């Protein structure tokens, strides 16, 4: 019935080409207007999997209780010194917090007023003692610096310490380190080289374990536009602009980088765009060249191309009507439509050429082609439609919506191929082919397949067995980071950050009913060998506070008047600075002479640096002030804050910290960090399994990526089984023969196993991107094998010499060469998709041209 309808549609196009063409163009124009007016695309990857799955609900519960955990943009600030990192982070976070146009929330997870005051208490008691001891020992230097934070004060501080050396109170070696580090910084500055100086590092006891950090972080939640290909692009640009405005760049000893889920996703789409023009050009050129070799007619190629473009516009409009908005997976309907749509056009055009070669005119050739191909085309389109429809019941919404659009696209492609294409060919009037359409050169291969049929079948049986044996070794790489370009700025920053196990994004989140339960759970999880640390709100309340506060308070009694002098001298004049530098230089030389030894060399070096600075132009002293005095202010402010540490309880935590760990309804968050290389899939699997054994409702990136992998893999298994059942049922209804159904589907299954086996042998894992190649493999494979089975059923012999073989060959080449160009993409996921498409289509072609004819054997005897 459908075959007859297709024949009637072709006949209509033959009789009324202008009317059919006009109607088609009107439909396409209407579809284009609808598509443009209703076009919508979301780049939200969270929308790809059903929110009804248990792990998604756990994820949603955490995000609802703690919305700050989603859509995170992480700013990494690295400074050449701790002071530079701290000052830069403070300025940048303050500036970003006022930018309500681009950001909903900005916070410092490892800094701010609370950590400035209480941060020392998070170290061990011995570390607190070492830090305060170092400050007390530096008291002779700190006093003059705090009362006169200038070049004059720095010179005066050394002068004060040298007085103690001369009195015999301390050895010269006691101040060797300050002299050596300051001389090195001033020498580098004088030579025009990058120069940096840290007072914090100078006052840190070597080996105390309390080294101040040179890296600080800012967490920001940008306002995203999911209608854009790069939703966070404006926010990242705002950070870059603000950093430039504040002078936070490598030239000033600061590096500002962005990473996190938002810039990583944006970077991925930017990588996709990077050489898309070149890939598209290669794809189009490959497609057009293959079409020309298939038909040997520019006019026929033009007709096929117009038909595909028109069908694509109609499918886009229908897809938008059906699903509302495209997603990152459903947009793949474009290559699927082109790949399968071009097959219908090639089948009709090659058969049309064969009929023309036998003497039929254009109209008659088209109608004969429709008579011969009506049933196979209808059956192929129906089978592909059901194959894509099999994804609808799955939890993988992205691929389910792809199935809807691609299924509708098959109907559009078939209708366009039997209406618009015949009308175009009637109007274009392509010439008669000058050579045979089939492959007469394939006659020896046909004979060989007839005489060695059993050998071929045994060879393919062995291939099937070998591929099945390799299935346990198929790798599914669930880590989405491995699909991204490794050299992207956000990815490079993340890789650098992940080297710190307590800053990796691969953390697991667990909701506890309250803060007390969270504390108990954190202790239990921390004891697991796969866990580096588990943090709850109580992790921000220092332990052993009484002992540590006693040490800090003792230090405060000794240092308070030192760092908070009653009188602060006014800024010196340039002449005052010169005088102080020259005076101290002389004292340094005198002390070096009076106290020979290793430290004497450091004293002479600093004396030389002070002399040179005193005699230099005023601009050099301005540079020295920025080098030495600016970080001095940062360091003194931090010492003052640190000496004001006070007892902390959960109840007295700042709201901005407590709110990150205890929700408004009282539920509490526990964040768990993995032990080992968090970018290693095996490590993440063990980590996730161990944590979920204790906390089954855990969520977070490691859980999501592994669960998503399972959801996607099961969706393909589920859809594959359902597609096999549906397509088998359709084939049985039409063919009425179990054997012929098996002949159609067995090569498709074989080509799938061979593709997976090839992936094992070449070390290509299956991932979220390249798994999309398998629906195309199924669609193309079913169509090709239906053509051969229907031709064999009709009594055709020597299939490899027929026009059908030519159509199948060039259809596969058109699809394979065009989509194989994706291999050239700079995006690793897309490139792997192109690779597997090429492999799968190559095996599909081998199974169609070699295995299928051998499997079918001699033509079936017609029933009397």
318: closest CA among 726, 28, 739?
28
In the predicted model, is pLDDT for residue 46 greater than 80? no
| Alpha helix ranges (H) inside 390-440 | 397-428
Give the model confidence (pLDDT) of 680-717 as tens digits: 878 888 999 999 999 999 998 889 888 887 888 888 88
- In whole angstroms, give the CA distance from residue 782 to residue 844: 9
* Pairwise CA distance, residues 197 & 632, whole Å: 9
Residue 233 has pLDDT above 50, yes or no: yes
Q: Closest Cα partner for 204 from 160, 139, 138, 153?
A: 138
d(CA 759, CA 737): 34
Whether residue 205 has pLDDT greater than 80: no
Write out pLDDT tens, residues 312-323.
Answer: 999 999 999 998
Instruction: Output 340 or 792, whichever has higher pLDDT.
Output: 792
Say yes or no to pLDDT of 803 above 90: no
Strand order in the sheet with 699-700: 531-535, 668-674, 508-512, 699-700
Is the pLDDT at 795 greater than 80? The verdict is no
Residue carrying the six token digits 């897309």: 830
How high is the pLDDT of residue 863?
Answer: 47
CB atoms within 10 A of CB 233: 19
Q: pLDDT at position 87, please?
A: 92
Helix (H) or strand (E) holding 199: helix 199-202
pLDDT band at 226 (very low <50, low <70, confident <90, very high): low
Q: 91-105, 272-286, 342-356, 579-593: which has the minimum mean pLDDT?
A: 272-286
Q: Please, is 465 exposed, middle or buried when counting C-beta atoms within 10 Å of its C-beta (0-12, 13-18, 19+)?
A: exposed
Euclidean distance between CA atoms 727 and 742, whole angstroms: 11
Of 173-182, 340-349, 465-474, give the lowest mean pLDDT range: 340-349
Q: State yes or no: pLDDT of 3 exceeds 60.
A: yes
**581 neighbors 613 (Cβ within 8 angstroms):** yes
- The percentage of the chain sitting over the pLDDT mark of 90, rounded to a whole number, equals 39
User: Regarding predicted confidence, which is higher, 722 or 504?
Assistant: 722
625-654 pLDDT per residue, tens:
999 999 998 889 989 999 999 999 999 999
Question: What is the separation of C-alpha 249 from the centre of its chain, rounded to a whole number of angstroms?
Answer: 26
Quickly list DSSP for 512-567: ESSHHHHHHHHHHHHTSTTEEEEE-GGGGS-SSHHHHHHHHHHHHHHHHHHHS-S-
Residue with more model confidence, 229 or 798: 798
Chain centroid, CA 376 distance in Å: 42
First-to-last C-alpha distance (Å) of the chain = 23
Of the two residues 827 and 168, the one the predictor is more confident about is 168
CB 749 within 8 A of CB 755: no
Contacts of 521 (CB under 8 A, 6+ apart): 510, 512, 534, 536, 670, 694, 695
Angle at 384 between CA 382 and CA 387, to 5 degrees: 110
- From CA 614, how far away is CA 629, in angstroms rounded? 16
What's the mean pLDDT in 571-585?
94
In three-state secondary structure terms, 225 is coil
Residue of higher predicted confidence among 800 and 123? 123
Average pLDDT over residues 354-362: 87
Q: Report, as an integer, the average pLDDT of 576-583.
A: 94
* Beta bridge partner(s), residue 220: 73, 106
Query: 């497609």: which residue's tokens?
Result: 287
**Minimal CA–CA distance to 403: which of 414, 389, 386, 382?**
389
Between CA 270 and CA 722 the distance in angstroms is: 36
Asked whether residue 584 carries a pLDDT value surpassing 90, the answer given is yes
22-36, 132-146, 375-389, 820-834 — most confident range: 22-36
DSSP for residue 766: B
Please give the pLDDT value at position 370.
Answer: 87
- Please tell me the class of the 68-115+213-269 domain: alpha beta
Average pLDDT (153-171) is 89
What per-residue confidence (pLDDT) applies to 505?
Answer: 79
In the predicted structure, residue 142 carries a pLDDT above the cut 60: yes
pLDDT of residue 864: 40
Q: How many CB atoms lie within 10 A of CB 649?
A: 9
Residue 860 pLDDT exceeds 70: no
Joined tokens for residue 469: 């044996």
pLDDT recorded at residue 377: 84
Q: Give the whole-angstrom CA distance, residue 373 versus residue 793.
A: 13
Eight-state DSSP code of residue 850: I
Residue 221 C-alpha from the chain's centroid: 18
Give the pLDDT of residue 151. Answer: 94
Q: What is the pLDDT of residue 712?
A: 82
Instruction: Rounding to the nearest 10 degrees, give the CA dihedral for residues 68, 74, 77, 83.
Output: 10
In angstroms, the CA 751 to CA 312 distance is 28
Please tell me whether residue 509 adopts helix, strand or coil conformation. strand
Q: Domain boundaries in the chain? A: 2-46+270-479+706-856, 62-66+486-541+650-702, 68-115+213-269, 129-211+560-642
pLDDT in tens, 287-314: 888 888 888 899 999 999 999 999 999 9
Averaged pLDDT score across all residues of the chain: 86
Separation CA 396–CA 775 (nearest Å): 14
pLDDT at 272 over 70: no
Q: Work out the pLDDT band at 504, boundaries 50, 70, 90.
A: confident
Task: Determine contact, residues 741/383, Cβ cutoff 8 Å.
Answer: no
pLDDT-based confidence at residue 531 (cuts at 50, 70, 90): very high
pLDDT at residue 436, rounded to an integer: 64
- Torsions phi, psi for 859 (to 5 deg): -60, 145
Residue 533's region, left for phi above 0, alpha for psi from -120 to 50, else beta, is beta
């Amino acid at each position: 019935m459908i075959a007859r309808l297709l024949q009637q549609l072709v006949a209509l196009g033959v009789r009324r080409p202008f009317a059919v063409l006009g109607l088609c163009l009107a439909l396409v124009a209407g579809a284009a207007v609808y598509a443009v007016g209703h076009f919508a695309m979301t780049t939200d990857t969270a929308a790809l999997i059903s929110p009804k799955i248990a792990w998604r609900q756990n994820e949603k519960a955490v995000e609802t209780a703690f919305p700050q955990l989603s859509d995170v943009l992480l700013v990494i600030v690295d400074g050449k010194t701790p002071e530079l990192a701290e000052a830069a982070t403070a300025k940048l976070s303050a500036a970003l917090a006022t930018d309500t146009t681009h950001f909903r929330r900005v916070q410092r997870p490892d800094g701010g007023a609370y950590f400035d005051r209480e941060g020392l208490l998070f170290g061990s008691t011995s570390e607190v003692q070492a830090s305060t001891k170092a400050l007390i020992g530096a008291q002779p230097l700190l006093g003059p610096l705090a009362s006169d934070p200038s070049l004059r004060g720095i010179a005066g501080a050394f002068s004060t310490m040298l007085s103690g050396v001369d009195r015999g109170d301390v050895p010269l070696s006691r101040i060797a380190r300050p002299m050596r580090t300051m001389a090195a910084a001033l020498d580098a500055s004088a030579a025009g080289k990058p120069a940096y100086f840290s007072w914090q590092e100078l006052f840190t006891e070597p080996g105390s374990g309390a080294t101040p950090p040179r890296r600080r972080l800012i967490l920001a939640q940008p306002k995203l536009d999911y209608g854009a290909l790069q939703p966070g692009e404006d926010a990242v640009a705002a950070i870059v602009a603000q950093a430039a405005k504040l002078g936070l760049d490598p030239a000033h000893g600061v590096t500002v980088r962005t990473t996190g889920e938002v810039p990583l996703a944006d970077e991925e789409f930017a990588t996709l765009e990077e050489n898309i023009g070149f890939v598209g050009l290669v794809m189009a050129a490959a497609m057009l060249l293959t079409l020309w070799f298939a038909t040997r007619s520019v006019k026929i190629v033009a007709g096929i191309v117009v038909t595909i473009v028109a069908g694509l516009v109609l499918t886009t409009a229908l897809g938008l009507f059906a699903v509302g908005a495209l997603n990152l997976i459903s947009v793949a309907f474009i290559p699927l439509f082109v790949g399968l749509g071009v097959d219908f056009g090639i089948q009709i055009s090659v058969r049309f050429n064969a009929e023309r070669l036998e003497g039929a005119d254009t109209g008659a050739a088209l109608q004969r082609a429709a008579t011969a191909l009506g049933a196979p085309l209808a059956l192929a389109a129906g089978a592909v439609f059901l194959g894509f429809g099999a994804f609808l019941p799955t939890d993988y919404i992205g691929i389910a919506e792809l199935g809807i659009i691609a299924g509708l696209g098959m109907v559009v492609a078939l209708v366009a191929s039997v209406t618009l294409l015949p009308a175009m060919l009637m109007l274009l009037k392509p010439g008669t082919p000058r050579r045979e359409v089939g492959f007469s050169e394939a006659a020896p291969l046909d004979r060989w397949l007839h005489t060695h049929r059993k050998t071929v079948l045994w060879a393919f049986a062995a291939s099937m067995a070998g591929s099945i044996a390799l299935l346990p070794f198929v790798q599914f790489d669930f880590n989405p980071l491995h699909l991204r370009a490794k050299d992207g700025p956000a990815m490079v920053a993340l890789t650098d950050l992940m080297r710190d196990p307590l800053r990796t994004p691969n953390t697991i989140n667990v909701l506890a009913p309250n803060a007390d339960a969270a504390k108990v759970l954190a202790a239990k999880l921390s004891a697991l060998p796969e866990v580096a640390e588990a943090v709850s709100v109580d992790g921000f309340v220092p332990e052993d506070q009484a002992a540590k506060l006693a040490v800090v308070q003792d230090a405060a009694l000794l240092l308070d008047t030192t760092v908070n002098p009653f009188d602060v001298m006014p800024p010196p004049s340039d002449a005052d600075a010169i005088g102080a530098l020259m005076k101290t230089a002389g004292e340094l030389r005198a002390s070096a002479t009076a106290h020979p030894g290793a430290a004497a060399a450091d004293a002479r070096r600093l004396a030389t640096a002070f002399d040179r600075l005193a005699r230099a132009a005023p601009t050099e002293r301005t540079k020295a002030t920025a080098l030495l005095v600016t970080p001095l202010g940062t360091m003194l402010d931090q010492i003052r804050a640190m000496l004001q540490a006070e007892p902390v309880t959960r109840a007295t935590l700042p709201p901005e910290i407590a709110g990150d760990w205890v929700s408004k309804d009282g539920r509490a968050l526990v964040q768990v960090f993995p032990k080992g290389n968090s970018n290693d899939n095996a490590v993440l699997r063990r980590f996730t399994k161990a944590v979920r054994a204790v906390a089954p409702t855990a969520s977070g990136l490691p859980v999501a990526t592994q669960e998503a992998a399972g959801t996607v893999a099961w969706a393909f298994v589920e859809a594959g089984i359902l597609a096999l059942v549906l397509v088998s049922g359709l084939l049985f209804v039409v063919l009425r023969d179990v054997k012929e159904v098996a002949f159609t589907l067995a090569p498709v299954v074989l080509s799938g196993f061979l593709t997976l086996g090839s992936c094992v042998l070449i070390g290509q894992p299956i991932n979220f991107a390249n798994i999309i190649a398998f629906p195309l493999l199924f669609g193309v494979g079913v169509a090709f094998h239906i053509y051969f089975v229907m031709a064999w059923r009709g009594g055709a012999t020597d299939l490899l010499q027929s026009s059908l073989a030519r159509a199948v060959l060039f259809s596969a080449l058109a699809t394979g060469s065009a989509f194989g160009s994706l291999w050239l993409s700079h995006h690793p996921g897309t490139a792997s998709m192109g690779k597997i498409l090429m492999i799968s289509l190559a095996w599909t072609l081998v199974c169609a041209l070699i295995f299928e004819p051998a499997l079918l054997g001699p033509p079936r005897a017609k029933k009397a």
